[in-house]
Structure 1
Amino acid sequence: MRKITKHFLRLGIILIVLFVLIVAAWVIFYFHSFAQDNFKLGVNFSKSYTEYLGLNWQQTYTAILDDLKVKNIRLAAPWNEIEPIEDHWVFTDLDWQVNEAVKRNVDIILVLGRRTPHWPECHDPVWLMGLPPEIIIDRQNKMMTKVIEHYKNISQIKIWQVENEPLLDVFGVCPPGDINLLRQEVTLVKNLDDRPVLITDSGELSFWAAAANTGDIFGTTMYRVTHNPYLGYLYYHLPPAFYTVKAKLAGKNLNDVIVSELQAEPWAPGGLLNTSLEEQQVSMDGIRLVNHVNYAKRTGFVGAYLWGAEWWYWLREKQGVNELWDTAQKIFK
């Protein structure tokens, strides 16, 4: 009996020591910073999302550049906007965005491909419906070639992003991810222009290995508060080192990793326009915005692009709430 008691006592001590070591390691990793001096902060911008919020998209874009003094921006070339009719190319709105950035010496990441940011991810033009997969791929290659040729002389475009989270099958209305097709797209872009290629993946839902080694630069999403219809709000209390270690395990130099989407707006269960301001503030406010930026810096990655600038402007113009806009001004100083 005494032997059994001693055995359980010894086991209990071992478990307590292990628990203390795990907690200590978590605390060390959580508060440790890999931050680099060359960290660049930027924003994402979407014309269609701005219009969804009932805003003048050109006015919003100009305010982001001039009022916030943003110097790095991530833009996209949604297929349904640039080729609404087969072989009829419309670059007018994207040209305006690019040219306004060029005037202000703002560096650009341009996303191209079938899958670009914002729901439903694959922004297919209507005429694409019903075409065989091999024809769609051929048309997709033609579209990507057209985009590169149209913008290859714009020196402010520093990076081409090929597709958006192309291997993430659990989100978006898109065909299943295809690593071989993605590699072919990257090769196509590299044959047309020698600028670096960015490939992105989910920060919380993917392992990164395949995506991280397909392009020159890797971009991760970073959403720290999400919502589940069954569990409610989920807060990711992960140490910044979680992302750092994932990048290293995927074989990436931290100088070649950015946060392509850093959460800077609420995770609204029913869409922003159907969510009260009080509910929106549950998952995003000025304090959380500052914390998210500081958190991203501590990963050791070289940059982060905030996701939510259009929402800050909507709060200011439509709701009379300046907190997020004013906070962003301070962040970008």
Structure 2
Amino acid sequence: MIKRKRIILYLVLIIAISQAIFFGFLLYFNFAGVEKQAELGVTFSPGQAYYLGLDPKKVLHSSLTDLGIKKYRFSAYWDKIEQKQGVYDFSQIDWQIDEVDKEGGEIILAIGRRLPRWPECHDPDWIKGLSEEKNQENVLSLIRKTIEKYKDRTVITAWQIENEPFLSIFGECPAPDPEFLKKEIAMAHSLDNRPIVLTASGELSSWTNEAILSDKVGVSLYRTTWNSILGLFYYPLTPHYYKSRANTLRLLGKEIFISELQAEPWERQPLPETPIIEQKELMNAKMLGESIKFAKRAGFNEIYLWGVEWWYWLKNQGDNEMWQMVKNLVNKN
């Protein structure tokens, strides 16, 4: 089984590197060297705050009032909203939306079954044993209820449907189902006219399917990853690679942004159990600054950082380097 996974991962990496070489030829027509101005936002997860032993309300409030963040990506986690079938409780989303609205920010709200943070598919317990067809019906009901609940909230600027829905090698989820994804998008369009966002792996996806089905494409940007098969892996990609691919989609009239820029360590073991010195070997202020410069040189002017809960946790441990770095970058922009 491990051998099969290793083969799949190597094939994916070979495809990604081949794409990098191909798009490198486009540099003659599209030089990526100048840093663009960019708005910085964050993806925020109350569950990640709890995982680190934090009060999520304090984390969100501090990111708004101290860091000065105004752009957020939130997730309407199914297992929190519909703990009992047919009974919807949006209280865990309400306070997040209210807080950002009060501070004059804006939100991309991710809805569906597969959403940011492990295990990706945040299923309520009661769906166990149900057929996939029935589960899909329940997901459509969830999307309908969520959009009906929040479609009058102008602080929400877009609906993100699922998270990286075409990525099959990561997360504890069913196999990608493009036909069902189309139904989810159609459901959202039928209820509200705000843009539909689809996200893709910046390194392991072509971005094409996401662009065809959405109004706006968000891509992740990870320069260093780790897994039990390959160990620590550094992507040998350049800003040109991302910029050329993004500009191809822009020619088709698509907006494109970074929905997830790596700004916390890739976990090899639970973060709270990992010595801070080891954590910061995988992510620190210098690395973050370099990654943001990389993203700007790639031509992105909207960048959502991944790891606000970790920066706050570090600050509580007496290490405010990451927190201060982001604060300086937000004020600079």
Q: For this structure pair, what is the TM-score category when the shorter chain's length is used for normalisation? A: 0.7 to 0.9
Q: Deviations over 1:210-264 (max 9, x none)?
A: 1221100001111111123354322223111111222345566586001110000
Q: Deviations over 1:87-128 (max 9, x none)?
A: 111111210000000001101000000111001101010111
Give the Cα–Cα distance (whole angstroms) in 1 for the partners of residues 30 and 234 of structure 2. 15
Aligned length: 309
Whose radius of gyration is greater, 1 or 2? 1
Specify the alignment match of 2:32 in structure 1. Answer: 32
Aligned-pair CA distance for 1:294 = 1.4
Aligned-pair CA distance for 1:147 = 0.3
Specify the alignment match of 1:219 in structure 2. Answer: 218
What amino acid sits opposite 2:33 in the alignment? S
Give the Cα–Cα distance (whole angstroms) in 2 for the partners of residues 114 and 58 of structure 1. 24
Q: Which moved further from structure 2: 189-198 or 254-263?
A: 254-263
What amino acid sits opposite 2:66 in the alignment? D
Give the Cα–Cα distance (whole angstroms) in 2 for the partners of residues 281 and 30 of structure 1. 35
Give the Cα–Cα distance (whole angstroms) in 2 for the partners of residues 29 and 295 of structure 1. 19
Q: Which moved further from structure 2: 118-127 or 250-259?
A: 250-259
Aligned-pair CA distance for 1:288 = 0.9
Give the Cα–Cα distance (whole angstroms) in 1 for the partners of residues 290 and 164 of structure 2. 25
User: What is the TM-score with the length of structure 2 in the denominator?
Assistant: 0.87
Give the Cα–Cα distance (whole angstroms) in 2 for the partners of residues 252 and 27 of structure 1. 16
What amino acid sits opposite 2:330 in the alignment? F
Q: Which has the higher contact order (CA 8 A, sep 6+)?
A: 2
RMSD over aligned Cα, in angstroms? 2.2
Cα gap change, 1:89 to 1:231, in 2 (>3 Å)? closer
Correspondences of 1:220-259 after superposition (within 5 Å): 220-249=219-248, 256-259=255-258
Specify the alignment match of 2:327 in structure 1. Answer: 329
Identity %, equivalent residues:
40
What amino acid sits opposite 1:329 in the alignment? K
Give the Cα–Cα distance (whole angstroms) in 2 for the partners of residues 306 and 322 of structure 1. 17
Give the Cα–Cα distance (whole angstroms) in 2 for the partners of residues 267 and 156 of structure 1. 31
Q: Which moved further from structure 2: 285-294 or 271-280?
A: 271-280
Give the Cα–Cα distance (whole angstroms) in 2 for the partners of residues 90 and 40 of structure 1. 32
What amino acid sits opposite 1:324 in the alignment? M
Give the Cα–Cα distance (whole angstroms) in 2 for the partners of residues 272 and 331 of structure 1. 25
Specify the alignment match of 1:16 in structure 2. Answer: none
Is there any run of 5+ residues in structure 2 with no aligned partner, and where? 1-21
Q: Deviations over 1:111-154 (max 9, x none)?
A: 00011100110101011111111111111111100000000000
Aligned-pair CA distance for 1:26 = 11
The question of 1:280 aligning with 2:279 is answered yes
Specify the alignment match of 1:120 in structure 2. Answer: 119
Q: Deviations over 1:159-193 (max 9, x none)?
A: 10000001101000111001111111111101100
Aligned-pair CA distance for 1:63 = 0.6
Correspondences of 1:166-185 after superposition (within 5 Å): 166-185=165-184
Give the Cα–Cα distance (whole angstroms) in 1 for the partners of residues 117 and 163 of structure 2. 9
Contact 1:247 1:253 in 2 (8 A): no
Specify the alignment match of 1:7 in structure 2. Answer: none
Aligned-pair CA distance for 1:36 = 4.2
Specify the alignment match of 1:98 in structure 2. Answer: 97
- Give the match's secondary structure for 2:67: coil
Specify the alignment match of 2:6 in structure 1. Answer: none
Q: Deviations over 1:38-79 (max 9, x none)?
A: x32100100011000000111111111111010100000000
The question of 1:301 aligning with 2:300 is answered yes
Q: Which moved further from structure 2: 27-36 or 182-191?
A: 27-36
Specify the alignment match of 2:155 in structure 1. Answer: 156
Give the Cα–Cα distance (whole angstroms) in 2 for the partners of residues 81 and 284 of structure 1. 30
Specify the alignment match of 1:146 in structure 2. Answer: 145
The question of 1:56 aligning with 2:73 is answered no
Contact 1:26 1:239 in 2 (8 A): no
What amino acid sits opposite 2:72 in the alignment? I
Q: Which moved further from structure 2: 192-201 or 232-241?
A: 232-241
Contact 1:29 1:240 in 2 (8 A): no
Specify the alignment match of 1:47 in structure 2. Answer: 46
Q: Which moved further from structure 2: 79-88 or 232-241?
A: 232-241
Contact 2:119 2:171 in 1 (8 A): yes
Q: Which moved further from structure 2: 290-299 or 121-130?
A: 290-299
Contact 1:31 1:239 in 2 (8 A): no
Contact 1:30 1:240 in 2 (8 A): no
Contact 2:160 2:198 in 1 (8 A): yes
What amino acid sits opposite 1:118 in the alignment? R
Aligned-pair CA distance for 1:205 = 1.2
Give the Cα–Cα distance (whole angstroms) in 2 for the partners of residues 131 and 158 of structure 1. 34
Give the Cα–Cα distance (whole angstroms) in 1 for the partners of residues 29 and 269 of structure 2. 35
